[in-house]
């Protein structure tokens, strides 16, 4: 059925205005515009583009939505030149709009097209009538002026209603990726790129040529675009030739083929209902309709079955075309998000588009050349698509917007041809994507493996480090690993021939997985340490007396809080304790009389230095699986956060009367992830545990005794003496019996039925029956003498 503007539902959404703005520090008329001012300039262009009275149109805007700048896209980021506390309303105020609703969208390059899709649906539903979308970046200005004496101050205090949707980073950055140096976009995309290269059976040199051939036409478009950040034509060879200016970033990428973030750019799109467009006097030759739309999300990185593809992105583009009732052949224009070559080739492959498609795959010139305007690039692509649609009425244009690491994809199909609003089925498709099978992940990987994909990161100082995703031979679990520092042998493997499919060796450490060529090389690079006590620990002191080991956390000025090196030393000490047959009981305490342990060293954590924890957990205890000999916590003072978790991990706790226990993580925006969330509800009534966890409530020593958190409360300053007395009682018994008792308790902890637990076979019990201690104990009893234990 053919529709006209007169037969459409008055609530049908329509794009009525688009605008762009830009400036370059080295260009004429440079005004050092802030992100707000760049967005305002683009918004004025969009208002003027409607062909109606700009003031009247601005006053009709009931909703504004801003795309987040890069400088406010990550936790803890602080804009160097300041920023508005309400970016959308800062822009609205300057153009004479007083919207009911202001939105700050989540992070991701999909944001502009997603906002168009979402707000068009809201207009069709009658919720809103006129929506202004915009985004902007002033990264070039910030980088050029942040350290200058006359730097501008972009700080604004606007206030007012704001729907801040947060960062939206869930699943995009994980602690595991961060510990393996996989937080930057080039490294993540390089993994996909190399996987695709191997799937296509191309050598690195051949594949580099295809990337150059893909992006060379983009530079031609960028060279003609007045808003381009880098309007320079470059050949395929020039794009990939490694030079001082075009250095390697992450194999296979040189600087020229990755998104260019040094831009000062803004763009805006104005959407209204057909009825509102008529009321405002917007001429119908300005109207552009959204014929198709879709928003989908790919599985998270390590869950994807095939790292050489992003089928969700292809599905989004295909679904948008399906709703529009057209095929790729019917498109007159395309703009495929181009932060990296694979973002383009992935969708082009899926839609059957060639790299040299005569229509071109970009309207702007692409992110590496036009500029990757933060999360807002596709607002520019939409603006260009709308202009082209008006120039050639009745034609169709596709915008594909990508976010994350080939993670989120929003697509839109535009045309001047009138069309009713058509809902999409993205939710159904997303449920399908979420149901796809994916590989199991090994966070801690050990043994022989094969490389699934890889990259080598190149620092500006000439340093190199490799990142590998592989599969363990033992169970086919996928893992993430880095190369050891200065492992030239492994780096040679990753930069010569075809690394994918090669056999390598991986080992897990507290700081992450490391991969190298074979087990012998691994042992040379990371010799296994001997489990023996030393006398030169920096953050811990040890005292050995007979069969008793006393361990003291020696950081009293930091309330015995722990950082990675202190944790590692404790891990080494406990390794030695559990390995030494002549040590039967251990006592752990803290130096001074103020704190047993105040948990994580938060000052260190906030310093930006690498954060990691031993494989055996906080203090080398909270994740230790085989605690075969007793550990007594002598709590003197505060046991806060991680300190409380250490106490919970110990077999026994002696507290002096000044001791205080708390899982205080919620007070600093963290959670008790080192066992507190698991152990506390098993140690005390669940309601009490929940209250302590959710409020950080402090529990005194006497309360802890009543709850069963501690075994004994002793006078102030005598926690260690109390622990020694308890240790002496344990040492009076058979160490073999103590060890076996702990083992059987651990074996049966998860068995719900008591009789089944009692009857469960145990190799430890069999061992005890033939032990020297069992014979000695019975013989000594019969002879009415004290036994002499052998611990075997």
561 in the same domain as 501: no
Residues in the chain: 792
Over 60: is that where the pLDDT of 1 sits?
no
In-domain check, residue 105: yes
In-domain check, residue 251: no
Pairing of strands 408-415, 289-297: antiparallel
Name which of 133, 100, 101 is nearest 117 in CA terms. Answer: 133
464 in the same domain as 598: no
Q: What is the mean pLDDT of residues 439-462?
A: 96
562 in the same domain as 502: no
Q: Angle 671-676-682 (CA atoms, 0-180°, nearest 5)?
A: 135
Dist. CA 130–CA 757, nearest whole Å: 68
275 in the same domain as 351: yes
Task: For 592-630, write each residue's pLDDT tens digit.
Answer: 989 999 988 888 877 777 788 899 999 999 999 989 999
Q: What percent of the chain has pLDDT over 90?
A: 82
Residues 6+ positions from 124 with CB-CB distance below 8 Å: 9, 11, 12, 13, 273, 421
Identify the sign of the CA torsion 738, 744, 746, 750.
Answer: negative
Dist. CA 480–CA 564, nearest whole Å: 21
Q: What is the mean pLDDT of residues 434-438?
A: 95
Maximum distance among all Cα pairs of the chain, rounded to whole angstroms? 110
Task: For 84-100, write each residue's pLDDT tens digit.
Answer: 999 999 999 999 999 99
Query: Domain holding 456: CATH number?
Result: 2.40.50.840
Name the catalytic one among 645, 703, 749, 776. 645
Q: Using CA atoms in the order 594, 600, 601, 605, what is the torsion angle rounded to 10 degrees?
A: -160
310 in the same domain as 342: yes
The helix/strand/coil state of 784 is coil
Query: Residue 417 has what pLDDT?
Result: 97
Query: Residue 734 has what pLDDT?
Result: 84
Comparing 311-320, 473-482, 763-772, which segment has the lowest mean pLDDT? 763-772
In-domain check, residue 214: no
User: Any catalytic annotation for residue 665?
Assistant: yes
Domain hosting residue 710, numbered range: 540-731
Name the catalytic one among 318, 322, 665, 767. 665
Task: For 19-58, write each residue's pLDDT tens digit.
Answer: 999 999 888 889 999 999 999 999 999 999 999 999 999 9
Dist. CA 406–CA 296, nearest whole Å: 11
691 in the same domain as 753: no
Which residue, 490, 525, 560, sits at the end of a domain? Answer: 525
42 in the same domain as 132: yes
Strand order in the sheet with 101-104: 13-22, 264-273, 130-138, 63-66, 101-104, 163-164
Query: Residue 792 has what pLDDT?
Result: 67
567 in the same domain as 492: no
In-domain check, residue 216: no
User: Any catalytic annotation for residue 127?
Assistant: no
In-domain check, residue 130: yes
Task: For 3-16, write each residue's pLDDT tens digit.
Answer: 676 788 999 999 99
pLDDT band with cut points at 50, 70 and 90 for residue 167: confident
The helix/strand/coil state of 496 is coil
User: Tokens 């202009």 appear where?
Assistant: 387
Is residue 99 within 8 Å of residue 130, measured between CB atoms?
A: no
Query: Residue 750 has what pLDDT?
Result: 77
Dist. CA 315–CA 351, nearest whole Å: 9
Burial class (CB in 10 A: 0-12, 13-18, 19+), 359: middle
In-domain check, residue 236: no
748 in the same domain as 696: no
* Tokens matching residue 732: 């009076």
DSSP string, 195-237: HHHHHHT--HHHHHHHHHHHHHHHHHHHHH-TT-SS-----HH
* Tokens matching residue 565: 């090196």
The helix/strand/coil state of 547 is coil
* Tokens matching residue 308: 């050489």
Query: Residue 764 has what pLDDT?
Result: 67
Pairing of strands 408-415, 396-403: antiparallel
489 in the same domain as 389: no
Please tell me the total count of domains within the chain.
Answer: 4
* Tokens matching residue 129: 């009538």
460-467 — which CB contacts under 8 Å span 24+ positions?
460/247, 464/491, 465/181, 466/490, 466/491, 466/494, 466/515, 467/180, 467/181, 467/182, 467/187, 467/191
pLDDT band with cut points at 50, 70 and 90 for residue 171: confident
Dist. CA 132–CA 17, nearest whole Å: 9
Is residue 190 within 8 Å of residue 455, measured between CB atoms?
A: yes
Query: Residue 360 has what pLDDT?
Result: 97
Query: Residue 718 has what pLDDT?
Result: 96
**b or e along 550-587 (b: 16 or more beta carbons within 10 Å of the residue's beta carbon)?**
bbbbbbeebbbbbbbebbbbbbbbbbbbbebeebbbbb
pLDDT band with cut points at 50, 70 and 90 for residue 653: very high
Taking phi over 0 as left and psi of -120 to 50 as alpha, with beta for the rest, 51 belongs to left
571 in the same domain as 461: no
User: Is 0.95 topped by the overall pTM?
Assistant: no
Dist. CA 224–CA 222, nearest whole Å: 5
Task: For 513-528, write each residue's pLDDT tens digit.
Answer: 999 999 999 999 999 8
Comparing 392-406, 546-560, 759-773, which segment has the lowest mean pLDDT? 759-773
Tally Cβ neighbours within 10 Å of residue 632: 27
Task: For 105-162, write each residue's pLDDT tens digit.
Answer: 999 999 999 999 999 999 999 999 999 999 999 999 999 898 888 899 999 999 999 9
Omega prior to 590 cis, within 30 of 0:
no
Burial class (CB in 10 A: 0-12, 13-18, 19+), 711: middle
Q: What is the mean pLDDT of residues 195-199?
A: 97
In-domain check, residue 238: no
CA distances from 250 to 187, 237, 255 (A): 6, 18, 9
Query: Residue 753 has what pLDDT?
Result: 78
Query: Domain holding 671: CATH number?
Result: 3.90.226.10
pLDDT band with cut points at 50, 70 and 90 for residue 241: very high
Dist. CA 318–CA 698, nearest whole Å: 56
* Tokens matching residue 374: 């933060």
Tally Cβ neighbours within 10 Å of residue 511: 17
In-domain check, residue 510: yes
Is residue 183 within 8 Å of residue 121, measured between CB atoms?
A: no
745 in the same domain as 726: no
Burial class (CB in 10 A: 0-12, 13-18, 19+), 266: buried
Dist. CA 331–CA 364, nearest whole Å: 17
Is residue 396 within 8 Å of residue 285, measured between CB atoms?
A: no
Backbone angles phi, psi at 13, to 5 degrees: -75, 150
Q: Angle 387-392-397 (CA atoms, 0-180°, nearest 5)?
A: 65
């Amino acid at each position: 059925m053919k529709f006209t503007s007169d037969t459409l539902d008055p609530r049908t959404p329509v794009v009525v205005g688009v605008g762009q703005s830009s400036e370059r520090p080295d260009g004429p008329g440079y005004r050092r515009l802030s992100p707000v001012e760049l967005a305002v300039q683009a918004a004025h262009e969009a208002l003027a583009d409607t062909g109606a009275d700009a003031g009247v149109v601005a006053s009709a805007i009931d909703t504004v939505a801003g795309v987040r700048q890069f400088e406010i896209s990550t936790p803890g980021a602080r804009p160097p030149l300041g920023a508005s506390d309400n970016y959308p309303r800062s822009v609205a105020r300057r153009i004479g709009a007083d919207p009911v609703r202001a939105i700050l969208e989540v992070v991701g390059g999909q944001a502009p097209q997603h906002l168009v899709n979402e707000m068009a649906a809201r207009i069709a539903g009658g919720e809103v009538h006129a929506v202004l979308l915009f985004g902007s970046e002033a990264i070039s200005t910030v980088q050029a002026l942040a350290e200058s004496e006359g730097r501008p101050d972009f700080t604004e205090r606007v206030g007012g209603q704001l729907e801040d949707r947060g960062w939206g980073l869930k699943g995009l950055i994980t602690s595991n990726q961060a510990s393996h140096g996989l937080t930057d976009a080039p490294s993540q995309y390089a993994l996909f790129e190399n996987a695709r290269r191997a799937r296509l059976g191309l050598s690195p040199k051949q594949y580099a040529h295809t990337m150059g051939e893909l992006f060379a036409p983009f530079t031609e478009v960028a060279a003609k675009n007045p808003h381009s950040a880098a309007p320079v034509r470059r050949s395929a060879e020039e794009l990939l030739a490694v030079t001082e200016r075009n250095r390697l970033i992450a194999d296979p990428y040189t600087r020229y083929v990755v998104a260019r973030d040094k831009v000062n750019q803004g763009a805006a799109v104005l959407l209204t209902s057909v009825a509102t467009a008529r009321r405002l006097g917007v001429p119908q030759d300005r109207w552009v309709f959204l014929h198709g739309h879709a928003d989908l999300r790919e599985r998270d990185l390590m869950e994807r079955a095939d790292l050489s593809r992003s089928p969700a992105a292809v599905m989004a583009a295909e679904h948008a075309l399906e709703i529009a009732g057209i095929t790729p052949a019917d498109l007159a224009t395309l703009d495929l998000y181009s932060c990296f070559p694979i973002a383009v080739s992935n969708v082009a492959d899926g839609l059957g588009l060639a790299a040299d498609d005569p229509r071109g795959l970009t309207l702007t010139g692409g992110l590496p050349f036009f500029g990757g305007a933060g999360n807002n690039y596709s607002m520019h692509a939409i603006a260009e698509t709308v202009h082209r649609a008006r120039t050639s009425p009745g034609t169709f244009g596709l915008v594909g917007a990508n976010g994350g690491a080939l993670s989120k994809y929003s697509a839109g199909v535009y045309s001047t041809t009138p069309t009713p609003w058509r809902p999409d089925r993205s939710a159904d498709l997303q449920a399908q994507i979420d149901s796809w099978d994916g590989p199991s992940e090994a966070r801690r990987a050990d043994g022989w493996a094969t490389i699934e994909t890889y990259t080598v990161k190149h620092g500006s100082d000439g340093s190199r480090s490799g990142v590998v995703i592989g599969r363990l031979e033992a169970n086919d679990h996928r893992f993430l690993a880095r190369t050891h520092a200065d492992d030239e042998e492994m780096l040679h493997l990753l930069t010569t021939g075809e690394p994918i499919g090669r056999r390598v060796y991986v080992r897990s450490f507290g700081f992450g997985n490391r991969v190298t060529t074979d087990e012998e090389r691994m042992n040379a690079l990371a010799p296994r340490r001997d489990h023996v006590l030393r006398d030169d620990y920096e953050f811990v002191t040890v005292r050995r007396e007979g069969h008793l080991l006393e361990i003291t956390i020696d950081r009293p000025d930091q309330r015995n809080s722990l950082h990675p090196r202190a944790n590692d030393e404790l891990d080494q000490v406990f390794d030695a304790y559990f390995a030494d047959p002549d040590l039967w009981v251990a006592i752990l305490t803290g130096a001074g009389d103020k704190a047993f342990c105040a948990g994580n060293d938060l000052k260190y954590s906030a310093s930006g230095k690498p954060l990691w924890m031993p494989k055996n957990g906080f203090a080398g205890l909270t994740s230790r699986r085989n605690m075969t000999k007793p550990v007594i916590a002598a709590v003197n003072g505060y046991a806060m956060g991680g300190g409380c978790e250490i106490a919970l991990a110990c077999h026994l706790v002696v507290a002096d009367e000044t001791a205080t226990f708390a899982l205080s993580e919620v007070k600093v925006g963290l959670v008790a992830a080192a066992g507190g969330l698991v152990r506390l509800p098993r140690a005390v009534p669940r309601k009490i545990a929940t209250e302590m966890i959710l409020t950080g409530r402090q529990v005194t020593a006497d309360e802890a005794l009543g709850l069963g958190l501690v075994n004994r409360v002793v006078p102030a300053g005598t926690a260690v003496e109390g622990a020694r007395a308890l240790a002496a009682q344990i040492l009076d018994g058979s160490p073999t019996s103590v060890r076996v008792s702990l083992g059987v308790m651990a074996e049966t902890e998860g068995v719900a039925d008591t009789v089944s637990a009692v009857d469960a076979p145990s190799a430890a019990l069999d061992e005890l029956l033939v032990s020297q201690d069992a014979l000695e104990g019975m013989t000594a009893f019969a002879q009415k003498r004290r036994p002499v234990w052998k611990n075997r």
